[in-house]
Structure 1
Amino acid sequence: MTIEFLLTSLIIVASPGTGVIYTLAAGLARGRRASVVAALGCTLGIVPHLAAAILGLAALLHASALAFETVKYLGVAYLLYMAWMTWRERGALSLAREVNARSALQVTTEAVLINILNPKLSIFFLAFLPQFIDARETRPLASMLELSAVFMAMTFAIFALYGMAAAAMRDHVLSRPRILTWLRRSFAAAFVALGAKLALAEK
């Protein structure tokens, strides 16, 4: 494992995307526990993509236009659904004083689906991980698994930090309904924008 891999991974993970947006929203609406649950869900959502890259299934997704388009538009539809629910105060920014087992499951499920339904992630990992495997490596699979584990750990840590920072502002936001309304509309617009970006994505 190289410093180049760590720095590149840090930049990728810290860059705002669907997972970051969702984790921020969960932290603002439901507090610290929800932000950690959301970070965990987003991290779990990349596991199938890492597995696909390691097993070579991402190459099949890249080769099959139908498979790619199917998963992509499922992802677009889900992001638009998230935008609609957020706008109606029933999604990521639905307020809850505490996170019980049922709502924790809801947060986890939403977070996992956000990443699973993005076919670009499988293709990204297929192109990204092999760059950091030495051509002389005698156990490339073990190296891929190690890099994947580190990437997942960084994803969880960074997303949790984002969420905890948002949760720290929660009381300030909840006491100001106008700010909460503005944030809800902003998050809904962000989900729409991310859905549009995914819809325009090419293999």
Structure 2
Amino acid sequence: MLPIELLTAFFVTAILLGITPGPDNIFVLTQSAVAGRRAGVAVTLGLLTGIFCHTVAVALGIAVIFQTSPVAFTALKIFGVGYLLYLAWGAFNAGDAKINGKSIQDISFFKLYRRGIIMNISNPKIAVFFLAFLPQFADPALGNIPGQILLLGTIFNIATLIVFMTICYLAGSIGDFLKSSDKAQTILNRIAGTVFVGLALKLAVTSNE
């Protein structure tokens, strides 16, 4: 069992990382503002599932592949960029008709959940980050390194859940307020589309170094 002092330090670090603007929390913010808290909760759970998958990958050593193989890293990155551009296209073409017509609120919880998983899993930089980050808090002297990694990943997920649910609630409130305007949904969709394009560009220029 890792010392409580180390686990506490790790939890605080994870909270700070969750607060720091990044692709995942920006994704939660935009989805919550555009589609409401329900969508934010769904994508948050999807993102957390993705984080858990990255944790397992580190524990099993699979993440090393993305750090050492340019082909694997680039292939996953291309998929991620394509998916983000697909979301951007959908947001730009949504328009204000989404207010009274079929809206993103009508998308099933599972589809929104799946969107969060794809968003997280398709970013190989996260796998590389976890590979560099989690082992720093593991102690070989305590044995069972994979078990320690899984514990740390679970704590990281709990910290991330707290931060993302806070973002989800606040952004959802802002979205509810803005939707009182007839043009608000169009503006929100344009903002979301721009954010998706920005995230796609950011992912496109990342490397595994």
1:39 is the counterpart of 2:69: no
Residue segments in structure 1 that go unaligned for 5+ positions in a row = none
d(CA) in 2 for partners of 1:81, 1:159:
23
d(CA) in 2 for partners of 1:112, 1:177:
32
- Once the two structures are superposed, residues 128-147 of structure 1 have per-residue CA deviations (whole angstroms, 9 ceiling, x without a partner) of 00101124222322211110
1:195 is the counterpart of 2:200: yes
d(CA) in 1 for partners of 2:35, 2:189:
13
1:146 is the counterpart of 2:151: yes
1:22 is the counterpart of 2:27: yes
TM-score scaled by length of structure 1? 0.88
Aligned amino acid, residue 28 of structure 1: A
- Once the two structures are superposed, residues 12-40 of structure 1 have per-residue CA deviations (whole angstroms, 9 ceiling, x without a partner) of 12222232222223322333222212211
Residue matched to 1:77: 82
Moved more, 25-34 or 148-157: 25-34
Moved more, 164-173 or 1-10: 1-10
Residue matched to 1:182: 187
The alpha-carbon deviation at position 201 of structure 1 amounts to 0.6
Identity of aligned residues (%): 33
Residue matched to 1:131: 136
| One of 99, 120, 123 as aligned partner of 2:125 | 120
Q: Does the 8 Å contact 2:59/2:145 carry over to 1?
A: no
Moved more, 182-191 or 123-132: 182-191
Residue matched to 2:71: 66
Q: Does the 8 Å contact 1:21/1:187 carry over to 2?
A: no
Q: Does the 8 Å contact 2:59/2:147 carry over to 1?
A: no
Aligned amino acid, residue 43 of structure 1: L
d(CA) in 2 for partners of 1:38, 1:177:
26
TM-score scaled by length of structure 2? 0.86
d(CA) in 1 for partners of 2:103, 2:81:
30
d(CA) in 2 for partners of 1:28, 1:190:
12
The alpha-carbon deviation at position 89 of structure 1 amounts to 1.6
Q: Does the 8 Å contact 1:26/1:34 carry over to 2?
A: yes
